[in-house]
Amino acid sequence: MFKNIKNDLPSSIVVFFVALPLCLGIALASGAPLFSGVIAGIIGGVIVGSLSGSKLGVSGPAAGLAAIVLSAIATLGSYENFLVAVVLAGIIQLIFGFLKAGVIGYYFPSSVIKGMLTGIGIIIILKQIPHFFGYDAEPEGAESFIEASGENTFSSLFNIFDHLILGSLVIGVLGLAVILFWDLVLAKKAKFFTIIQGPLIAVVLGIAFFMITGSNESLAISQSHLVSVPIPEDINSFLNQFSFPNFSAITNPEVWIVAFTIALVASLETLLSVEACDKLDPDKNVTPTNRELLAQGTGNIVSGLIGGLPITQVIVRSSANVQSGGKSKLSTIIHGFLLLISVILIPTLLNKIPLSVLAAILLVVGYKLAKPKLFKQMYQLGWKQFVPFIVTIIGIVFTDLLVGIGLGLAVGIVVILLKSYQNSHFLHIEDNSNGKHKIKMTLAEEVTFFNKGAILKELDSLPRDTQLEINLIKTRYLDNDIIEILEDFLFKAKERNIDIKLISKRGIVDKPASFIHFFNERPKSDLSLS
């Protein structure tokens, strides 16, 4: 892990600044103690980060669980009773992991995963614009279309100028300008500017601005527009922020219902985030999903035992990690320790950070997830990819994350049912090695995203120094998800000295440079891959 510390340390600082307001905001939206969100962030970073097989995924409290937590605390009567459900949810996740339920993540089509990333990017932008202008009625980290204040995502945008805070806007604009200038200009000039990153400088400027303008009537920023970390007076008051489960409530059937609900939703969100994070990973690492469920289960047990919110892997923090140049899970672990150290040693300083500066950081994260060129790329792939992609985005923006993904998945399944027929033999492996590792992989007539889990497993199990022959002679339909898997595998093939030979009706290609290029360049009359 430590060989990439020059990348992971700067990245962990950016993830820390993204995670801190989200941990506090999600706790507030959940009706839980503010410190419970910080506990979950620390556990997600240190415990889950250490146990997980994901190199870039970051775990912590999730906005998608806020409504469930809010309702559960009221139903179960106290936060201590709710913590019992969190511990039990962790145990259920361990069972999911031992039962190898992580394979579920492979059955979500690429178009839906990309729609999820883009939809979250759009939601980040829409939700952070009010904070950027100083309108902080909604807690940081909220994702649902209907807001707790009674407004919705778009009505709050229309009300921005009725609640504008000039100081917040000024430092938000300055912070955004610094981040963009750092990213687009300075980072390309010298390595120093990739080690000390723009978001850190923006936060320092934000603190300095708050302190300098404190006596200025027009530019002063009040406490309600700053980060709000609980400040303990002494060690005893710090320790009193931890809550512990009331295990006498374990016989309450409602506790078990809440536990199973949290386990199911948290596991699903985690598996979707794992898929999305692997898509973003420039090194094309494949996260072991069953191990991830075991790590998440352990994290939730520990979080529940000491008063934390339930934990999932979360795409906003994970994408910030990727965008900031993180290379290993050391970045995730360090961000967890930064949360712990900062709330103990410098909570007063943290409470001088304007929320608008953190909104500027998140606006950049959101834009990088929802770049306009992605819409063009998905459109060019055809309606079978574009329709589920757009439906997922619309569903996420106008409802919430899980509903949007469910809608996209439903449309994706309908598309597959319309365009392909059932074929039980989609993959044939033939080992002609005789000690020389010669593997022949023959794909069937119809290969869809339903098959990507098995193909990923077969490709990942190939030994080093293998001669791999991929036969597409009989293949009439090859889903874009499978093409992307093959494209990503080229990176690993070079590392493991695997030579690839591609056989199709168009001829034989040794060591193809790009599967995507090969399939996009095929003649329209070629029915071998229609």
Q: What is the DSSP annotation of 478-528? A: E-HHHHHHHHHHHHHHHHTT-EEEEEETTEEEES-S-HHHHHHTS-TT-GG
Say yes or no to pLDDT of 490 above 70: yes
Q: Classify 423 as helix, strand or coil.
A: coil
Lowest-confidence range among 72-76, 134-138, 262-266, 313-317? Answer: 134-138
**Percent of the chain's residues with pLDDT above 90:** 64
Given a cut of 60, whether residue 217 has pLDDT beyond it is: yes
Report pLDDT digits (tens) over 162-180: 899 999 999 999 999 999 9
Other beta carbons within 10 Å of 387 = 18
Q: Kindly give, in sequence order, each residue whose CB lies less than 8 Å from that of residue 215, ignoring residues fewer than 6 positions away.
A: none
479 phi and psi, to 5 degrees? Answer: -60, 150
Per-residue confidence (pLDDT) for residue 520, from 0 to 100: 78
Query: Of all residues in the chain, what percent are helix, strand and coil, respectively (each to 5)?
Result: 65, 10, 25
Which residues does 101 contact at the CB level (< 8 Å), separation at least 6?
267, 290, 293
CA distances from 519 to 316, 393, 480 (A): 32, 27, 10
CB 245 within 8 A of CB 305: yes
**Residue whose entry in the numeric block shows the structure tokens 């410098």:** 346
Q: Which pTM does this prediction carry?
A: 0.84
Q: For residue 474, give the 3-state DSSP assignment.
A: coil
CA distances from 458 to 249, 275, 313, 448, 455 (A): 46, 18, 26, 16, 5
The whole-number pLDDT of residue 428 equals 60
- For residue 495, the tally of other CB atoms under 10 A from its CB is 10
Predicted confidence band of residue 414 (pLDDT cuts 50, 70, 90): confident
Other C-beta atoms within 10 Å of 513: how many? 9
What 3-state class would DSSP assign to 165? coil
- Indicate the average pLDDT of the chain: 89
pLDDT confidence tier of residue 287, bands split at 50, 70 and 90: very high
Q: How far apart, in Å, do the first and last CA atoms of the chain sit?
A: 44
Tokens of 424: 């039980």
412 CB-side CA count, 13 A: 27
Whether the pLDDT of residue 201 is over 80: the answer is yes
CA triple 22-249-88, angle to 5 deg: 55
The alpha carbon of 492 is separated from its chain's Cα centroid by a whole number of angstroms, namely 23
Among all chains, which residue has been given the structure tokens 């809440």? 258
Start-end of H helices in 428-479: 452-460
